[in-house]
């Protein structure tokens, strides 16, 4: 219906390879970005600060992880550590007087260097073993963060983040923080969407399908694996830094612990491996669904006047979050992106449902 391709024809290769081929998608994207830009006037402040801003920053982070997991097919259970390196480096740079943008880029570079270390085992092993070695590295980085006072100031310490500005323009209001997050997420999304169309993207996909086979057809497996880890860690580090500057406004080691790595992988899988809209939906779903479901359950319990002990209530978000991960894996392993795709494919050929695309 809406996604009609009737009358869409391409006379150049460039048009054929455009990011959004179907006219409706172009319109929808424009409307979505316009609405996102106008959000500070449309939604309440609380909603903006505590839901939309982290959602956008997490989308950027998940796009970076999805580049690695979805396109290059490498498992990474230590993304939280990479984000931590980015956040701490950026904050230290900013405290030393670097401007916000340079601090974030510096944080990204530091994270990329450390993240390439995570990629080291990928040169030898993959799959299960890669998962376990990245898990171990997460533990090591966590430990270093807590134990080296020069980085974190000690286990219990909180580093305050200096007030960021952009080219001399102070980013002090909630709306300014939100717009920074939005601009960052859009930039990263554009980058990742374009990587998919280049030779690098094709090489990564070949790598994902089977690295030996990719090597046989002339892809330098070492180089592209290292590149995938480097770029994804760069994005992750910058996201960690932006998260620290625009959302937390202070950094502590627990903000980027193992549970964050697990959450990031859950976002990628629930969203859909190798999908851009999936990264956006997955980040939002894992971030917001447990909060809302818990809220709903509390109200339900209150309405039915069931007494739930505080201890049970305190553990409920954890149960819901875990159940969402397992439930999605069992019922829709391809994630939210697949659900979106189902609707899109249905509408593309509507009313001729039998011409399956």
Answer for which of 1, 32, 319, 343 binds other proteins (CB under 8 A) is: 319
Do 207 and 221 form a contact (C-beta atoms < 8 A)? yes
Residue 257 CB, nearest distance to other proteins (Å)? 12
The yes or no reply on residue 160 touching other proteins (CB under 8 A) is no
The span of 8-16, 198-206, 247-255, 322-330 binding other proteins (CB under 8 A) equals 322-330
Tokens at 78, concatenated: 């230590």
Site string (196-215) toward other proteins, x via CB under 8 A: --------------x-xx--
**Closest CB to other proteins among 42 and 125?**
125
Answer for which of 9, 124, 356, 357 binds other proteins (CB under 8 A) is: 124
**CA 186/CA 181 separation, integer angstroms:** 9
Tokens at 48, concatenated: 């903006």
**CA 294/CA 1 separation, integer angstroms:** 36
Tokens at 187, concatenated: 């930039």
The span of 8-16, 93-101, 181-189, 311-319 binding other proteins (CB under 8 A) equals 311-319
State residue 106 phi and psi, 5-degree precision. Answer: -60, -40
Answer for which of 16, 34, 322, 342 binds other proteins (CB under 8 A) is: 322
The yes or no reply on residue 69 touching other proteins (CB under 8 A) is yes
Do 71 and 208 form a contact (C-beta atoms < 8 A)? yes
Show contacts with other proteins in window 74-93 (CB under 8 A).
75, 77
The yes or no reply on residue 120 touching other proteins (CB under 8 A) is yes
SS3 251: strand
- DSSP per-residue letters across 144-185: HHHH-HHHHSSTT--EEPPPPEETTEE--SHHHHHHHHHHHH
SS3 220: coil
The yes or no reply on residue 267 touching other proteins (CB under 8 A) is no
Which residues here bind other proteins, judged by CB under 8 A? 69, 75, 77, 120-121, 124-125, 127-129, 131-133, 135-140, 143, 146-147, 210, 212-213, 216, 262, 265-266, 269, 311-312, 314-326, 329-330, 333
């Amino acid at each position: 219906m809406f996604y009609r391709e009737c009358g869409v024809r391409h006379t150049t290769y460039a048009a054929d390879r455009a990011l959004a081929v179907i006219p409706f998608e172009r319109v929808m994207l424009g409307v979505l970005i316009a609405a996102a830009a106008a959000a500070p006037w449309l939604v309440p402040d609380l909603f903006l600060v505590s839901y939309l801003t982290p959602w956008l920053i997490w989308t950027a982070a998940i796009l970076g992880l999805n580049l690695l997991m979805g396109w290059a097919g490498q498992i990474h259970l230590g993304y939280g550590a990479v984000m931590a390196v980015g956040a701490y480096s950026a904050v230290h740079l900013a405290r030393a007087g670097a401007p916000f943008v340079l601090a974030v880029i510096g944080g990204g570079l530091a994270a990329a260097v450390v993240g390439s270390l995570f990629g080291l085992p990928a040169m030898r092993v993959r799959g299960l073993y890669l998962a376990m070695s990245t898990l171990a590295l997460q533990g090591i980085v966590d430990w270093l963060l807590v134990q080296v006072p020069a980085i974190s100031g000690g286990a219990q310490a909180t580093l305050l983040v200096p007030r960021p500005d952009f080219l001399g323009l102070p980013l002090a209001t909630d709306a300014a923080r939100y717009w920074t997050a939005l601009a960052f997420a859009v930039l990263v999304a554009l980058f990742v969407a374009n990587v998919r169309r280049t030779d690098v993207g094709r090489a990564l996909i070949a790598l994902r399908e089977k690295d030996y086979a990719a090597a046989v057809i002339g892809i330098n497996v070492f180089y592209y694996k290292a590149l995938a880890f480097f770029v994804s860690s760069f994005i992750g580090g910058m996201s960690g830094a932006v998260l620290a500057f625009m959302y937390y406004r202070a950094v502590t080691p627990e903000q980027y612990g193992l549970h964050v790595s697990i959450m990031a992988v859950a976002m990628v899988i629930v969203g859909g491996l190798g999908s851009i809209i999936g990264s956006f939906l997955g980040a939002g779903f894992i971030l917001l669904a447990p909060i809302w479901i818990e809220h709903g359950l509390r109200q339900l319990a209150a309405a039915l006047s069931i007494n739930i002990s505080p201890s049970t209530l305190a553990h409920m978000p954890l149960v819901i979050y875990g159940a969402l991960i397992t439930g999605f894996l069992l019922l829709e392993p391809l994630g939210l992106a697949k659900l979106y795709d189902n609707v899109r494919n249905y509408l593309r050929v509507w009313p001729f449902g039998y011409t399956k695309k």
